[in-house]
């Protein structure tokens, strides 16, 4: 499904609640995605 949508999939080794156990890594991924989208427009 991600490939059909042209999305990038990122995996993070973590527990079930990745945003709680790896908040810095999640924030970095979100920031990178936002910056990528910002340069497209």
The pLDDT tens digits for 1-41 are 999 998 899 999 998 899 999 999 999 999 999 998 888 86
At 3 the pLDDT is 92
- pTM value is 0.75
Q: What is the pLDDT of residue 33?
A: 92
For position 10, what pLDDT does the model report? 93
Q: Given this model, what pLDDT does residue 37 score?
A: 87
Using alpha carbons, list the distances in angstroms from residue 33 to 7, 25, 26, 28, 40: 10, 12, 11, 9, 11
List the structure tokens of 40. Answer: 């497209």
């Amino acid at each position: 499904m991600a490939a059909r949508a042209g999305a990038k999939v990122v995996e993070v080794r973590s527990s079930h609640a990745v945003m709680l156990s790896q908040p810095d890594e999640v924030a970095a991924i979100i920031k990178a995605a936002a910056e990528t989208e910002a340069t497209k427009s």
